[in-house]
Structure 1
Amino acid sequence: MKRLISANNLLLVGVVVVGAALLGVATSGRFFGPVSMTAFFTYLSVPILIGLAQMITLCVGQLNLAVGAIGGVAACAAGVMITSWGVPPWIGALSTVLVGALLGLANGLLVVGTRINGFIVTLAMTQILIGVQYGLVGTRTFGSSAWSPVTDFGDAEVLGIPNVFVLTLLVAGVVALFFSQSVSGRRLLASGGNAHAAELAGISIDRTLVVAHTLSGLLCGAAAFVTLAILPGVNSSIGGDWLMPSFAAPIIGGVGLAGGTVAVLGTVLAAMVVRLVDAASAIFKFDTSAVNFVVGAVVLGTVALGRLREVQAARRASILRSRRAEAALAEVAG
């Protein structure tokens, strides 16, 4: 796992500090008011969770295009269970995590069973789940008054920090410990870094793919739970705008597309950057398409820069090997 103190993390911290300062100046300090700060950190929770969900699939060299669809189905299913079926609010809300994990498990089993790239599988699953989500709620919106104990939790704070953000940080900490301390986490990284070497070491690549997609779905379900806690209701639009932020956070945070790496702190910081862009968009009335263009351009630029670094590193390694070979030949000839 990438070190906590890295050039990328320090750069992201700098961007967050400068961005927040500029918004503070532009709003004459109102951005740092208690109401604004509470809203900022409350709505930061979902970008962090979906970023971590995408990070887990990226670490094994996979993609999860169904992040938003999984979260949308989980949230809408919970709304239906609570409102129409009479399921107790907390049980219904927490079922989002189970639903997300099961849908992630289905993705993993399909990837392993069909031997089709995860990009295709999750793309197809997205379309299926969008249909399921619409089938659950149609054009209706289920109001959060039906699960008021959950929204009370979402509105509450701990020492001035929103409960949902504290919960999100705890989840991020668990994810970090999973990759740094657990055998399963290290197996995921090993299989993503070098699948052939991992197989020789006795690691099941199929199992790691299933685990990665299951955990990714579980975190999408956690994001759905937060959505239930902070939004006034759920409908068929939930999750529709999750895909780009889910990629932006880990990629800008320093996770490579090739697999084998995670960057939990970087993902959290990058999600904060994306949230600052959203806040600036609301304050300055930026066009949504312009904001999406900027975020997409940053993600593409980050990927291109990472690829350039990989090529340069490979070139340096090749030159070094050539020099060593030449030195060895000269020694033999001498």
Structure 2
Amino acid sequence: MTAPVETPARPAAPPPRTPRRTPLWANPRVGLVVLLILLVTLFSTIRPAFLDTRLTLTPLQSDISVYLVVGLAQMSVLSLGHMNMAVGRMAATSAFAMGLVHHTIGGGLLVSLSAGLLVGAGLGALAGFIISRTGVNSFVVTLAMDFALVGLITILYTSAVDGVAFPTMPAGMDALRFDTFADYCAGDVCGPRIPLVVPFALVAALLVGLLFRWSRLGREILMTGANATAAELSGIPVRRRVVQAHALSGLIAALAGFLLAANNGAFSASLGDSFLLPSFLAPVLGGTLLAGGAVSVLGTALGATLTQVIYKGLNLLQFQLDQLQLYIGLVLLAALSLDRGRHVLAERRGTAP
């Protein structure tokens, strides 16, 4: 009688591997905080005027507010793995709409701001619509839009005011430029005054953070950025989300144009010329992935703060403009390298970004 042959049992399948969190030392936001502390200490030691409230700290807050909002505008499309190369021109065109409304119908501050925000959202939606329908890369579409808007802005200002800026501003813009909240004090130590433009940036950051953290729209935009094919198979309207993300970018760019106009005291044709590089620096330094699928509002705020601290510190050290551009360009190159390094680290260690 033949003995039955025992079939060897299959080895149990290994449990699914849970992604580990990125270690604290690899968190870009922690690194930014440490770097900020070091830079502030360095600049204030070399030039004590760096801590002067009127000369440095109050204007620095206004600049950070503008470039935080600019970073949020770029971050909105980086969530898809896209780029908005026209972020500065969208801001300038929206600012023109604000100035035109005030110049022609005498609308108040809120009316002018609303008109500009609508124009910015419309321009962003147009870019998103072209990208989603044609499949052309976002870099090409928004770069073409940037060139088109350069000429359009010049034509619009020439026809409207025969110049490069509107002669008057809506009531309340001067207050945004010069007024601040009262000093805040702890005992005998008082901090710097807070410009009135700061709450605009904080509210924008809060709303964008809530959108991507808690809303279905924000989560679906991030899923589209992570894997558009999988998102579409999951029932997500990918084309619509692309349009909405670009519309959000244009809307926030318009707000940045408004804040810069308030800081400068004029709606001008050159407004937004300096937006492009900082718009990438702030989110990328803060941990937003260029490939899409992950954003960080807090990191964008820290990135904008770091960039402006470097600008202000080097200005106080009397660096020339070309030297400033060189060092900021090196910072961007380092940021892109770190972004790629985080990708490699996450892939090798199986960590969640």
Shift, 1:49, TM fit: 0.5
1:94 is aligned to 2:114: yes
Q: Look up the SS of the partner of 2:169 in the other structure.
A: helix
Q: Is the 8 A contact 2:101 2:115 kept in 1?
A: no
Please name the residue that 1:246 is paired with. 279
- Which residue of 146, 157, 160 maps to 2:180? 157
- Kindly state the Cα deviation for residue 198 of structure 1 after the two structures are TM-superposed: 1.2
- Larger displacement relative to structure 2 (200-209 or 34-43): 34-43
1:46 aligns with 2:66: yes
Structure 2: segments with no counterpart, 5+ residues: 1-21, 183-192
Q: What TM-score do the two structures reach when normalised by structure 2? A: 0.83
Moved more, 144-153 or 103-112: 144-153
- Structure number, greater radius of gyration: 2
Name the counterpart of 1:265: 298
The answer (yes or no) to whether the contact 1:250–1:270 under 8 Å persists in 2 is yes
Question: What is the alpha-carbon distance in structure 2 between the residues aligned to residue 85 and residue 227 of structure 1?
Answer: 23
Separation in structure 1 between the aligned mates of residue 348 and residue 110 of structure 2, nearest angstrom: 55
Structure 2 counterpart of 1:101, which letter?
Answer: A
1:142-221 correspondence to structure 2 within 5 Å: 142=165, 145-159=168-182, 160-221=193-254
**Residue 147 (structure 2) pairs with residue 124 (structure 1):** no
- Please tell me the root mean square deviation across aligned C-alpha atoms, in Å: 2.3
Bigger share in helix: 1
Q: Which residue matches 2:95?
A: 75
SS at match of 2:197: helix
User: Unmatched 5+ residue regions in structure 1?
Assistant: 318-334
Give, in whole Å, the separation in 2 of the partners of 1:316 and 1:109: 38
- Shift in Å, 1:34: 4.2
Deviation at 1:311, TM superposition (A): 3.6
Aligned with 1:296 (options 329, 345, 349): 329
User: TM (normalized to structure 1)?
Assistant: 0.88
Structure 1 residues 51 and 105: CA distance shift in structure 2, 3 A: same
81, 91, 94: which is aligned to 1:61? 81
Tell me the number of residue pairs that the alignment of Structure 1 and Structure 2 aligns: 316
Range moving further from structure 2, 264-273 or 163-172 = 163-172
Q: Secondary structure in 2 aligned to 1:157?
A: coil
Larger mean CA deviation between 292-301 and 251-260 belongs to 292-301
Identify if the C-alpha distance between structure 1 residues 4 and 266 changes in structure 2 by more than 3 Å, giving closer, same or farther.
farther
Deviation at 1:244, TM superposition (A): 0.3
1:234 partner SS? coil
CA contact (8 A) 2:88 2:253 kept: yes
- Deviations 1:143-170 (CA, angstroms, capped at 9, x unpaired): 5743242221343323431121122011
Question: Which of 116, 140, 156 is 1:136 aligned to?
Answer: 156
Q: CA deviation at 1:10?
A: 1.4
8 Å Cα contact 1:151/1:228 also seen in 2: no
Q: CA deviation at 1:14?
A: 1.4
Which of the numbers 247, 267, 270 marks the counterpart of 1:237? 270
- How far apart, CA to CA, are the structure 1 residues paired with 2:41 and 2:115? 39
Residue 113 to residue 4, structure 1, CA distance change in 2 (3 Å): farther
Please give the per-residue CA displacement for 1:124-147, whole angstroms capped at 9, x wherever unaligned.
000111111111224724357432
Q: Structure 2: how far apart are the matches of 1:44 and 1:124?
A: 28
> Residue 253 of structure 1 contacts residue 270 of structure 1 at CA under 8 Å; is this kept in 2?
yes
Q: Confirm whether residue 276 of structure 1 aligns to residue 299 of structure 2.
A: no
- CA offsets per residue over residues 219-247 of structure 1, 9 Å max, x none? 00111121232212132211111100000
